[in-house]
Amino acid sequence: MAKAIDKINWHDGNLVGISTDISAKGKCTVKVMANVYPSEQSPERTTLKIQCTAVSRVTSSIDVTELKNNQWAGNISHGYLKDKVLWIYFTDGFIEVRAEKFTLSK
């Protein structure tokens, strides 16, 4: 799955949502949803979802006003997966998720 996430064209995408679920047993799942262009030539964004399971750490700082102000142009600058850590950078913000498994769906 890492190769599929590495091929995402994050630039000019939009963050749709981030959710965190913690089970009664303490298992954590983080879901990230974004609208991204399938390629640099695509005229429209498509929705993708990344589910991060067996999460051990989530760090985030997001300026909601900047997300809103940059939504038309795209509020995601770039993202990547490295050493079981997903990094997504926004206009004036980021999210970092360390997990054992990442599942990509549309």
Structure pTM? 0.92
Q: How many domains does the chain have?
A: 1
Rounded Cα–Cα distance for residues 22 and 3 (Å):
27
Determine the pLDDT at residue 74. 96
Q: By residue range, what is the domain housing residue 78?
A: 1-19+52-106
- Flag residues of the chain having pLDDT under 50: none
User: Residue 5 is which amino acid?
Assistant: I
Q: Is residue 57 part of a domain?
A: yes
Q: Is residue 69 part of a domain?
A: yes
- Residue 27 parent element (H or E): none
